[in-house]
Amino acid sequence: MSTATFVLAATSGDVLNVIAAFAGGLFIAGALVWAVQFGMRVQDRESPRPRPEEQAHLPATGPVREMREMREPDEMPMPGDSRERLMPYQLHPAASRRGKDQRRKRWLPGSSGSFGGGGLGHV
């Protein structure tokens, strides 16, 4: 084989690689254009965004604030009672009484902070 044949074979391989890369780039660009057009069609079918006058507004009294308070625990029957097991619909609603002590309960210093964690507990 002559040197010209090797140069021609190497050049034709390079040309094929360039053509394949160009075709792959065109394919990817076409897929991106199709995806954008598809997204625009889907967006056109959605309901329109609300206008500024349709947006929610603050009440005249101002923003609503969260109210925190400590509640008294609701009494539950002990397991040793002669009564039958309570069903969920027999439990009291969440209308418990407001507690006398409104200070927030905190972990004691030196306690483990978890049940059965092996800490010093309530000292």
Q: DSSP string spanning 80-122?
A: TSSSPPPPGGGS--S-PPBPS--SPP-PPTTS-SSTTS-S---
Q: What percent of the chain has pLDDT over 70?
A: 63
From CA 20, how far away is CA 29, in angstroms rounded? Answer: 14
Q: How confident is the model at residue 109, as a pLDDT?
A: 65
The answer to whether residue 100 sits within a structural domain is no
pLDDT score of 23 more than 60 = yes
| Total domains present in the chain | 1
Is residue 8 in some structural domain?
Answer: yes
Q: What is the tens place of the pLDDT at every residue in 49-69?
A: 889 889 888 888 888 888 888
CB-based contact 102:79 (threshold 8 Å): no
Domain assignment of residue 84, yes or no:
no
With bands split at pLDDT 50, 70 and 90, how would you rate the model's confidence at 78?
Answer: low
What confidence tier does 28 reach under pLDDT thresholds 50, 70, 90?
very high
Distance of alpha carbon 13 from alpha carbon 21, whole angstroms? 12
Range of the domain at 18: 3-45
Which two three-digit tokens encode residue 8? 């021609």
Whether residue 99 is predicted with pLDDT greater than 70 in this model: the reply is yes
Determine the pLDDT at residue 56. Answer: 86
For residue 107, is it within any domain?
no
Tell me the longest C-alpha to C-alpha distance in the chain: 107
Q: Is the pLDDT of residue 104 over 90?
A: no
